[in-house]
Amino acid sequence: MTFLEAIFARLQASAGRAVLCEIRDGREVSVTGGEMLGLVQRVRGFLAARGLERGDRCALIAPNSVRWAAIDLAMMAEGIIVVPLYARQPPAELAGMMKDSTPAEVFCSDASMAAGIQNQWDAAPPITLLDTVFSGEGDPSSAGPVRHTDSEAVTIIYTSGTSGESKGVVLNAGNLKHILGCTHAGLDQLMGPREEPDRIFHYAPFCFAASSILLLTALSRNSVLALSMDLSRLSDDLKLARPDYFLNVPALLERVRARIEETVRARGGLAAQVFSRAQRAYLARRNKEGALLDILCLYVANAVMFGTIRNSIGPTLKALICGSAPLAVETQLFFMMLGIPVLQVYGLTETTGICTMDDPRSIEPGRVGGAISGVEMTLDGNGEILVRGPNVFAGYWQRPDETARALDGGWLHTGDQGEVDARGSWRITGRLKNLIILSSGHNIAPEPLEQALLAGLPEAEQVVLLGNQRSFLAALVTARGKGGFDHGRIQSAIEALNHGLPHYKRVRAFHLVPEPFTIENGLLTTNGKLKREAIAARFASAIEQLYQKKSA
């Protein structure tokens, strides 16, 4: 049975119960498995009426919704290659990715987005709004999904490269089938034997690989997936959904941790003292240390405080699942202290989102678990993580040279550095490349932004972007010569740079360095390249103050 046939069979078996719901204005609007199949059949009829055929590529640009999931499934069921794109991406960048993938048709959520794309691409293919898709054109299809061969392309997901130019990662049916088998096995370990459906909460865009895998996993197992439709209501939506687990990026967990700690500090008094000592005792106990009074405070906090905090996050949570970017060990330990396990997942779009998964029965903070079933991982002489297995992508769309480099020697070269212990558990230690990964999971190539900012600042010698594992971008700007530098000029140049950029590419703060980086002061290589790690270490205190001030 193919992965799509398994999903259709699960929807049919769940014809009378909810499988997917949208949380809108404090209430859940659900669809049953039968209703979901009906939506998919309607979309398939529409696609056929438009003359779209197996092997065509179609772009899908919209926020998460039940209808997004129905269109995604319908395209795959017709053998159409889905090109999901980020709805918050600027039209110029969307147009660039679509010019690369040459879709036969574009499906998007609203007229303003369609107009923005058309303004950037005179030769754009037909652009259809989601409302039109469900308007009734064409006869609903009751046929089963096409049977993909393992090597047949199913989706093209775009990811940022070090040059700043996005590349289309081609994932095939074999990639998805293998990963879904692994996610089911991992969730079965977490949930154990049970008859009632898993309850899952979700907020990350479906256009990202890990998010797409979660959707397909949820639809192919006994579960109900609740979609948050308004990020400003995330906390309230989470309480309503009452999930067993949900997928996170580190930025959200760090915000939740900071909010809890600030709330406790604001209460002051004995509660704040007990909580602080309990945190210290929890960390000390892991090292088989700790003062008696701290240990007593940990016992008290666990008895009277932690349960209340757990309930405020999610009273039924079995675990939080975290990926897309490195998670601070302190944050992982914080939630474990509260009694909420945090399972880490490591992977790239090129590995169908996943290479490793934590075992729920054996979590080691700071590590991302062992390689998933059927997947090999090793280190080359530079400490770079290499991966091969049925999860590794088929190649970059229309980029044979870059594909050959990425898959040199039959292994995927991840660009990540890591280490593995005797049990096979991996730790990600850094990146060989300069790609910045925000704590939100967004990947950003710094060079194009640095050059653009320099172009607007003739008084500057260098610009270095910061933000790895942080929640936003900041910049170090070096002055040229000794004539002084107007901070207002830098701010104006940054505002000009930020105009039209997506939220995650905007520079939010800067620090002025009075002298340039040079070979002599150890901050440039002999051929004039920035020593980014050395710069970050030299200005660590200023960088930390920069982020603390901006976050305050």
Per-residue pLDDT tens digits for 125-175: 999 999 999 987 878 888 899 999 999 999 999 986 534 578 999 999 999
pLDDT over 80 (residue 432): no
| Contact call for residues 394 and 153 (beta carbons, < 8 A) | yes
Residue 429's pLDDT is 82
Residue 486's pLDDT is 79
DSSP 223-250: EEEEEES-GGGHHHHHHHH--SEEEE-H
pLDDT over 90 (residue 335): yes
Give the whole-angstrom CA distance, residue 449 versus residue 457: 12
DSSP 393-421: -SEETT-HHHHHHHTGGGSEEEEEEEEE-
Residue 297's pLDDT is 84
Q: Which residues pair with 464 in a beta bridge?
A: 476
Residue 203's pLDDT is 94
- The phi, psi pair for 206, rounded to 5°, reads -65, -15
The predicted model gives 75-102 an average pLDDT of 94
Q: Give how far Cα 220 sits from Cα of 141, 169, 170, 359, Å.
A: 20, 23, 22, 21
pLDDT over 80 (residue 7): yes
| Contact call for residues 251 and 231 (beta carbons, < 8 A) | no
Structure-block tokens of residue 515: 């002298």
Residue 164's pLDDT is 52
Residue 455's pLDDT is 81
Residue 162's pLDDT is 39
Residue 404's pLDDT is 97
Close Cβ partners of 235 (under 8 Å, ≥ 6 residues apart):
none
Residue 163's pLDDT is 44
Give the whole-angstrom CA distance, residue 205 versus residue 65: 10
Assign 335 to helix, strand or coil. Answer: helix
The predicted model gives 498-525 an average pLDDT of 89
Sign of CA dihedral 317, 323, 324, 326: positive
| Contact call for residues 465 and 507 (beta carbons, < 8 A) | yes
pLDDT over 70 (residue 551): no
Q: Using a pLDDT cut of 70, give the percent of the chain over it.
A: 97
Give the whole-angstrom CA distance, residue 525 versus residue 522: 8
- The phi, psi pair for 477, rounded to 5°, reads -120, 125
Tell me which H or E stretch contains 28: strand 27-32
220-239 pLDDT, tens per residue? 999 999 999 998 899 899 99
Average pLDDT, the chain: 91
Give the whole-angstrom CA distance, residue 319 versus residue 332: 11
The predicted model gives 79-91 an average pLDDT of 93
The predicted model gives 53-71 an average pLDDT of 97
Q: What band does 484 get if pLDDT is binned at 50, 70 and 90?
A: low
Structure-block tokens of residue 369: 């678990």
Instruction: List, in sequence order, the alpha helices (H) in 389-531.
Output: 400-406, 446-455, 487-498
pLDDT over 90 (residue 444): no
pLDDT over 60 (residue 37): yes
pLDDT over 80 (residue 485): no
Q: What band does 461 get if pLDDT is binned at 50, 70 and 90?
A: confident
DSSP 141-193: P-SPPP---TTSEEEEEEE--TTS--EEEEEEHHHHHHHHHHHHHHHHHHH-S
Distance from CA of residue 95 to its chain's centroid? 22
Q: Give how far Cα 368 sits from Cα of 40, 51, 101, 267, 431, Å.
A: 36, 45, 33, 35, 15
The predicted model gives 519-542 an average pLDDT of 82
Helices (H) and strands (E) in the chain, counts: 19, 25
Q: What band does 522 get if pLDDT is binned at 50, 70 and 90?
A: confident
More confident residue, 371 or 451: 371
pLDDT over 70 (residue 53): yes
Give the whole-angstrom CA distance, residue 118 versus residue 327: 39
Phi-psi category of residue 547: left, alpha or beta, with phi > 0 → left and psi -120 to 50 → alpha: alpha
Least confident among 94-108, 173-187, 294-308:
294-308
pLDDT over 80 (residue 38): yes
